[in-house]
Chain A
Amino acid sequence: MVSLTFFREFTMDISANPARPSLVGRLRAAVEVKPLNLKPYEKSWLGYVYLAPGLLIYLVFIFIPILNTFRLSFHNWTGFTEPVFNGLDNYIELAGNQRFWSALFNNFFFVIFFTIIPILIGLFITSLLTRTHISGLTAYRVGLFIPQVMSTVAVGIIWRWMLNPRFGPLNVMLRSIGLEALARPWLGDFTWAPYAVGAIGAWVGYGFTMVLFVAGVQSINPELYDVARVFGANPWQEFRYVTLPGLRRQIVVAFVIRFIAAMRIFDLVYVTTEGGPGGITRVVSYELWQNAFQVNKAGYAAAMAVVLTTIILLVSFITLRIQARLAYDED
């Protein structure tokens, strides 16, 4: 992904500069910069010394555990006894387990709320802001971003209150306007609980996408909007042909980040529904936590972690590749 970022910057660099210096000139500049990096103080072992303390902690507490998760996923391990190799048994059990599939399905269902809806809201708001100058934008931004700083546990508890059957504002409002029949214990309702959890995810997400997109729009060349107007583009065409292509990178990034958030839901389900009622809001991370730490099936849970990681990496990678491809085609 590092090389990808570099590639992107490189291509953007070219497109940003209309003069387009010759390739030879660019290469020469690159070569000329090089000797500057070779400083007399640079003894090669010094780099290792500076890296060592942090890298050691990182290797012990993150990197090696990741490798061990992979290893343990092929073992029968209670978390307390010696792990016993059992080949693909954990994965076979996973593939045949209805609970796991329903949890995975729910994660993908939550992508609609955690990912798609915030992106749509963000684009809608951004489209309003491209044609007009809005005063006090900073104040809006600061307020809209607040859910990003809050602990997810706090968010979940605040929404438990919002959706409280008796005292929650939603039901109180429904009753006061005579829609008593619609009031229900949202988070405990067999039909509505997934939508209620999803709505909380959308609430957390839209501030992020809005701020990301609005910042992105500011880096779109204003001349493009002028040109669009000269050609008599209506607001939709302006959005479709100027704003949307200009925000492609932000949209892709928002998708990847919010997709990962949807795949990793844990805290929110833990405090709002605990996977209930009847398992309809069960998610993979919650299953994983229960199996590893409640019922001593740590090896099986490790297989779940491997599957989850694979899905996250695969989708992120494919999305970023598509975006790089599109950027490349355009140049």
Chain B
Amino acid sequence: MNTAAKPSILPRNLSTHIILSLFLLAAVMPLIGTLLTSFKDPTDLAASPFALPREWHFENYEKAWSQARFGDYFVNSIVVVVAVVGISVFLTVLSGYAMGLLKFRGKALINIMILVGLMVPFEAVIIPLWGLMRDLKLYNTIWSLILPQVALSFSFGTFWMQAYFKGVPGDIVDAAVIDGCTSWSMLWRVLFPMAQPSILSMVVLLFIWTWNEFLLVLVMIQKDSLRTLPVGLASLQGRFSTDLSLVAAATVIVTVPTLIVYFIFQRQFISGMISGALRG
């Protein structure tokens, strides 16, 4: 049976592998080419795009990092992402707990209000938000990036954490109550540690979405020194579009942190994206 089946199965598997590999290659080749370009100097560009650099030029990174201010953009991106993710996790653990386990009046209405934030595109927020930020004197400050992204994360995170808290077995809650836990200590001592896997997935998703946010930063930030990486990259492209290697090095700087987070937490990210999508 085995020997008879093998020859007929092997080619079919092989062709599937070939097709999958082609799509995989198509997904990663542009990135690899960009990485190679980032180490080349202008004279080397004319050679084959996917050839290794004749000499490895790390100057492109130096130039992007200091002259083109990508070091500053990098710090801004880190500050915004850490603040947004940190504040959002705290707020959505609270709100998810309230929505998932506590009983109070008006919950359905609040749920719908929060859902609006998930369904309405950000384009329908940005125009009045711009006016609001100027009125609050927050325009052109880091807060004009942090607060709206916390608010966006709040609607996603509340649904995410609410789903988790709804699934908490009633026995655990009962046991904690019998042990004399207040609702606050039960949340942080019992439920929060249990929620780690769910929170981790959310953190990974929020990290990547916040890191990549573009329109908000483009509208709110005029000062070059406050830009985050994606907007810095877009403006570099506008000014130095002929210096392909410099732009490539900057692109790598923007992309690598998200890729590192992705490779470490790929399972959380992929399953998070998929379950998040199906839940919507």
Contacts and interface: CB of A to CB of B under 8 A. Distances in A.
Contact of B270 (A48, A53, A64, A145): A145
Given A65-B128, A308-B121, A151 B254 contact: yes
Give the interface size class of chain A: 35 or more
Contacts, number: 300
B94 A267 contact: no
Contacts of A313: 119-120
A66 B123 contact: no
Given A66-B125, A149-B259, A313-B120, A61 B147 contact: yes
B247 A47 contact: no
A212 B95 contact: no
Contacts of B112: 2
Interface residues on B, range: 35 or more
B124 A306 contact: yes
A62 interface: yes
B183 to A, nearest CB: 5
Nearest to B33: A169
Interface in A288-310: 288-289, 292-293, 298, 301-302, 305-306, 308-309
A154 B251 contact: yes
A308 B12 CA distance: 46
Interface of A is mostly: helix
B34 A161 contact: yes
Interface in A152-190: 152-154, 157-162, 164, 166-169, 172
Contacts of B26: 203
Nearest to B275: A215
Interface stretch (B60-68, B103-111, B193-201): B103-111
Query: Chain B binding site: helix, strand, loop or mixed by DSSP?
Result: helix
Nearest to B118: A1
26 contacts: A38-B103, A39-B173, A44-B105, A46-B183, A47-B107, A51-B94, A57-B154, A58-B155, A61-B129, A61-B148, A62-B155, A63-B117, A65-B125, A129-B16, A146-B31, A154-B251, A154-B254, A154-B255, A160-B237, A169-B29, A249-B278, A253-B278, A267-B234, A289-B218, A293-B130, A313-B119
Given A46-B98, A151-B230, 10 more contacts: A44-B105, A46-B102, A142-B266, A151-B229, A157-B233, A161-B244, A162-B33, A169-B50, A271-B237, A285-B215
Interface of B: 9, 12-13, 16-17, 19-20, 23-24, 26-31, 33-34, 37, 45-46, 48-50, 91-92, 94-95, 97-99, 102-105, 107, 110-117, 119-121, 123-132, 147-148, 150-152, 154-155, 158, 170, 173-174, 177, 181-183, 186, 208, 211-212, 214-215, 218-219, 229-231, 233-234, 237, 241, 244, 247-248, 251, 254-255, 258-259, 261-263, 266, 269-270, 273-274, 277-280
